[in-house]
Structure 1
Amino acid sequence: MDKRPPIKTWAEAAPRLVAVAAGRAPADMVITGGTWVNVHSREILPAQDIAIAEGRFAYCGPDASHCIGDETEVLDADGLYLVPGLCDGHMHIESGMLTPAQFARAVIPHGTTTMFTDPHEIANVLGLRGVRLMHDEALLQPINIFTQMPSCAPSAPGLETTGHEITPEDVAEAMSWPGIVGLGEMMNFPGVVAGDGKMLAEIAATQAAGKTVGGHYASPDLGPAFHAYAAGGPADDHEGTREEDAIARVRQGMRAMLRLGSAWYDVESQITAITEKGLDPRNFILCTDDSHSGTLVEDGHMNRVVRHAIDCGCDPLVALQMATLNTATHFGLERELGSIAPGRRADVILTSDLRALPVHGVIARGRTVAVDGRITVETPHLDWPEDVRSTVHLGRTLAAADFEVPAPADAARVTARVIGVVENQAPTRALTADLPVRGTVDCDPENDIAQIALVERHRGTGGVVNAFVSGFGYGPGMAMASTVAHDSHHMIVVGTDREMMAAAANRLGEVGGGITVWKDGAELALVPLPIAGLMSDAPAEDVAAAASRMGEAMAACGCTLNNAYMQHSLLALVVIPELRISDKGLVDVTRFQLTDLFEAGPESGS
């Protein structure tokens, strides 16, 4: 199979581009009379024509009549802005619960024509093989999907066990693949700070290949540890949540990536570095990080992020630069994409309003791919192997007793460490709660304390780790289970009833992965995710509908959080503070150490 993107290189296309611009050859397409949004000069230029040949821009200027031949497709853009196709600077396709083909199908009508993706979710389940499958399907798409080779599987060695590990040798091999544009987010920031040889070897292999190293510094500490991380080589970071985070990154020569995902609202708190402090916006990039299928279908993708940035006070042209040219420049692709200019890939959005950004038409690589919210092209897919659809291995049928939390001897009540969910943010809080003992330690739904369990699902060990979580608002008699459990992707079960927790876990073992919600002995919702327990190859609309029913089921169980599923899926992410759960136990991420479930008692909970 030819793995090259289905577009000629600039060198291959250059003779014709020059001939078209000079009027010696006809263009394939000419867009006439549009208002050109020039992100290089930050200008709005009315009554402009754009000529396209070989999937690239050939002429951009006031009159392209000399480029029109008998076979040239002519589009009248009078009254419309011509905006470069939008770029997502950092995201995980798996978070959409979709394959690359289905994800592309979902976002193309919203004007996304380029994505820089990090498939570290599937890397944790299937290793380098899973990355290659994602990479190969990405290259089949009619838009630009570049892959960053995952850097950290496991994300925190010694604190979790993944299905597969990623090695420096894997990284070096992947750097030769045609669609690899860099190294995915370096989540093991304590390792970089400590000078860990494996992490530095991965960064060195990436830099030796002349590619970009993605960052992930999930700590509020901007002292020596942050400076050591910056010295370790990451070129960007999307984990900032405060204005001072964005400023610190840019001052250290990194690009600050401001994210708006389904549940991460980190643009408003950081964009003031531009709008109020006046920092150079060229070093800021917009991204989504994690967007689930419901957000994609109902609210949009990068067009949603740009609108939000504008609503937060950002100049529309600056916001568009942060979602186009800045992103392309960061990955060394400024001459290839990210703007409407000669030689670049012909990726264009036609819109009538730069603030609301309604997407009336999308052109990618010189052909129309969507009109008024309707996709007009195919998004080719792989035949995913059968074993990739059989990755949930529980080893046995689980019972309510597996979710019991033994109490310290002779204790009537205990003080337990509790994971505290923070709405619309990835970090959690390390809380404590006094919990009742009735033979075992029970959760306390009346005070918003539910039980959480991590069920091992890669090797069939039958292992279950139990702890407690607060913030979902769940009432009695419920459970929710998911095989999407960043980043090691075991199974997370949250509930207030142990029988329901066992039923939910066994259900996902039966269907091969996904998300299920149970209450009072019945299943309220199921989102099947058969591919690696992370994705579905069903259409985005079908997955979004199932995800919507899941959200309704969570609400019926008492949850009122915005996009609570995203918080649920990150409860095992042991590289973001403060408190998480893994297959090895409860993790204090502020110290990167395992910690006891009970504050002043013997080790328990597993």
Structure 2
Amino acid sequence: MEQTSLKTWAECAARLVAVAAGREAADTVIRGGIWVNVHTRETLEGHDLAIADGRFAYCGPDASHCIGPDTEIVEAQGRYMIPGLCDGHMHIESGMLTPAEFAAAVIPHGTTTMFTDPHEIANVLGLPGVRLMHDEGLIQPISIFTQMPSCAPSAPGLETTGYEIGPDDVAEAMSWPGIIGLGEMMNFPGVVNGSQQMLAEIAQTQKAGKTVGGHYASPDLGPNFHAYAAGGPADDHEGTCEADAIARVRQGMRSMMRLGSAWYDVETQITAVTKKGLDPRGFILCTDDCHSGTLVNDGHMNRVVRHAIACGCDPVIALQMATINTATHFGLERELGSIAPGRRADVILTSDLETLPIEWVMAQGKVVAEGGTITTECPHLDWPTDARQTVRLGKALDAADFEIHAPIQAEQLTANVIGVVENQAPTKALKREVQVELGLISAQGGIAQIALVERHRATGDVVNALVEGFGYTGEMAMASTVAHDSHHMIVIGTSREMMAKAANRLGEVGGGVTVWKDDAELALVELPIAGLMSDSPAKDVAAKADQMVAAMQACGCTLNNAYMQHSLLALVVIPELRISDLGLVDVTKFEMTELFEDTE
């Protein structure tokens, strides 16, 4: 699979020099703009940019010597010329879209580079799935770099995935042309405890001269945090407060501050720069997880930069955190992330640095969006049949599969309940008194049932537990085959009958999200590729996602972006309490725990 037609610097260096010197004409000249220089943190009025072979050749006060009869002239008209935006850590699958459709959705928002970790598809399809994501990313009109997933399963012994990733897989992937490093090392207890497999994956990555992504999802900044830092991760995006950000940059890690569909971790951490005055070079902005509705309705990295500015960050510093800082972190400072000679000609024209309207976008020397509309094609792969038939339930489910039986005869029991925390990835481990009726525990008093349905090996297994915080009322159910990271099926409901219907519906359509209320389906988002993605246009998927959100609200849910909370309840590497195909997981101890207490 070949990348787009962009030439390497070596292939076009002679022409870049000739254009800059005025001996040859540029392909394009952007004239009369304000050059936002992220190397020096300056805004330079009345400057021009000359572009040849998809790269900047000349960046200076007057490019008239670079203009020939066939040179295209773009009048900046005094607007700011800023580098294309880079997302330093994200998962394409979280957008419910294929790489091509995700690119088409974010290009009008000014994103021209993404560093993606396809560990969602790795859990379902293994290394072949990662290769499909990698290959489709390479042929897009923007730069999509792939991080080889590090943890499938994310926590060995606590979940079962469709496939497992090991050091040999990592070593193989490091030779692929679009691999930029190792995806987030979620198994932080493994690193802290010296797991030979985790350290071998990190070693293979460092041997290849590539970047190791981090994921330290713990508030503990004592010896365990220091042990993790010693294990090699070069960045971390799991910080939620100023102390987290400071701790990471002091250890030589980049602090990646995220604003996704449900993660609001910029405001609480950016004060390390805006108030504590730390060097902003150690900080990067990213999204982590954005679903299609956010992309279509609110934006992508432009949304994150605007938010950082609204939190008190200087606009040019915020832009550095979304451009040159990211490029430097991945060893690509000479390739992208700034407007400077030799770099990929990724540039945005905007009339205001604070509100950041994305008025015109160029990627790799070609105009890709104008006035909020994409002007280029995003090529698709032909996704194979085995990537589209991944929901294997083994049998038709019924209400009995979702029964929670009391382990002893009692009218009331103490249960370990998963507590949802709005706008954050961590959950709370709650202890609640629940009533027993006819030997069964049902949804009650703000507590809903949650089930994890195995869908990779057709075992027919269902694990049942309890969850609090969604606010569901009446008789309802919601099911999703997006269930980070093992991506079985998560079903939440107040009616066992409807939980069964919702689960069977996803088996019928090959994956996605469905919401039921009063025995009727209110919304369905089909995700036929690995049960995670659709190759339909983003606006179509977003419209269905909007219906899903409205359906959740009709069922009583008032949480912001509650779908993301739903899909993360099986993520057994983020505290405190999660569900897996093996049972309830106490993520503070990384061990299995019981649903009920004191039943012996």
TM-score range, shorter chain: over 0.9
**Aligned equivalents of 1:236 and 1:226: distance in 2?**
13
Amino acid at match of 1:531: I
- What does residue range 39-118 of structure 1 map to in structure 2 within 5 Å? 39-118=38-117
Does the Cα contact within 8 Å between 1:361 and 1:370 map onto a contact in 2?
Answer: yes
Kindly indicate whether residue 310 of structure 2 is the aligned counterpart of residue 272 of structure 1: no
TM-score under structure 1 normalisation? 0.99
Could you say what secondary structure the match of 1:15 adopts?
Answer: helix
Contact 1:419 1:579 in 2 (8 A): yes
2:514 to 509, 513, 516: 516
**Contact 1:406/1:439 (8 A) holds in 2:** no
Indicate if the aligned counterparts of 1:404 and 1:440 stay in contact, CA closer than 8 A. no
Residue equivalent to 2:439: 440
- Residue 444 of structure 1, CA deviation: 3.8
Residue in 2 that maps onto 1:474: 472
Shift of 1:443: 3.3
Q: Distance in 1 between matches of 2:439 and 2:263?
A: 36
AA at the equivalent of 1:181 = I
One-letter amino acid of the structure 2 residue matched with residue 86 of structure 1: L
1:367 equivalenced with 2:366 (yes/no)? yes
Structure 2: distance between partners of 1:339 and 1:408: 62
Partner of 1:247: 246
Q: Please list the CA deviations of residues 308-358 of structure 1 after superposition, one character each: whole Å capped at 9, or x if unmatched.
A: 000000000000000000000000000000000000000001000100000
The match for 2:157 is: 158
Aligned residue number for residue 499 of structure 1: 497
Q: Which amino acid aligns with 2:537?
A: P
User: Which one-letter code corresponds to 1:442 in the other structure?
Assistant: I
Q: Deviations over 1:130-166 (max 9, x none)?
A: 0000000000100000000000000000000000000
Matching residue's letter, 1:43: E
Task: Report the RMSD for the aligned CA atoms in angstroms.
Answer: 0.6
Alpha-carbon separation, structure 1, partners of 2:109 and 2:12 = 28
Give, as a single letter, the amino acid of the residue that structure 1 aligns with 2:252: G
Q: Contact 2:147 / 2:182 at 8 angstroms: preserved in 1?
A: yes
Instruction: Summarize deviations over 1:224-268 as a string: whole Å, max 9, x none.
Output: 000000000000000000100000000000000000000000000
Assess if the C-alpha contact under 8 Å between 2:183 and 2:212 holds in 1.
Answer: yes
Quote the Cα distance in structure 2 between the aligned partners of 1:412 and 1:79. Answer: 74
Give the C-alpha shift of residue 409 in structure 1.
2.2
Instruction: Determine helix, strand or coil for the equivalent of 1:127.
Output: helix
Q: What residue in structure 1 maps to residue 541 of structure 2?
A: 543
SS of residue in 2 equivalent to 1:526: strand
For residue 392 of structure 1, give the secondary structure of its aligned residue in structure 2.
Answer: coil
What is the CA–CA distance in structure 1 between the aligned matches of 2:19 and 2:407, rounded to whole Å? 80
Q: Secondary structure at the match of 1:397?
A: coil
Q: How many residues get paired? A: 600
CA–CA separation in structure 2 for the residues paired with 1:510 and 1:214: 37
* Structure 1: gaps spanning 5 or more residues: none
- Asked if structure 2 preserves the Cα contact closer than 8 Å seen for 1:57 and 1:341, the reply is yes
Distance in 2 between residues matched to 1:56 and 1:545, nearest whole Å: 37
Given the alignment of the two structures, is residue 382 of structure 1 paired with residue 381 of structure 2, yes or no? Answer: yes
Give the Cα–Cα distance (whole angstroms) in 2 for the partners of residues 120 and 262 of structure 1: 18
Q: Secondary structure at the match of 2:245?
A: helix
> Structure 2: where are the runs of 5+ without partners?
none
The aligned amino acid for 1:503 is K
Give me the whole-angstrom Cα distance separating, in 1, the residues matched to 2:352 and 2:439: 60
CA contact (8 A) 1:90 1:288 kept: yes
Cα deviation for residue 285 of structure 1 reads 0.1
- C-alpha separation between the residues in 2 aligned to 1:444 and 1:516? 19
Could you tell me whether the CA contact under 8 Å between 2:405 and 2:441 is conserved in 1? no
Q: Alpha-carbon deviation of 1:542?
A: 0.2
In 2, Cα distance between equivalents of 1:397 and 1:484: 20
Aligned partners of 2:350 and 2:546: how far apart in 1?
29
Match of 1:309 in 2: 308
Q: Partner of 2:168 in structure 1? A: 169
Alignment pair present for 1:231 and 2:230: yes
**In 2, distance between residues paired with 1:218 and 1:77?**
44
Tell me the distance in 2 between the aligned counterparts of 1:333 and 1:311. 28
Partner deviation per Cα, 1:357-388 (whole Å, 9 max, x = no partner): 00000000001000011000000010000111
Please give the TM-score of this superposition, normalised by the length of structure 2: 0.99
In structure 2, the partner of 1:398 is 397
1:42-96 CA distance string (max 9 Å, x none): 0000010000000000000000000000110000001210000000000000000
Amino acid at match of 1:548: D
Q: CA deviation at 1:5?
A: 4.1
Name the SS for the 1:36 alignment partner: strand
Deviation at 1:433, TM superposition (A): 1.0
Output the CA distance in 1 between the equivalents of 2:338 and 2:433.
57
Q: 1:567 corresponds to which residue?
A: 565
- What percentage of residue pairs aligned between the two structures are identical? 78
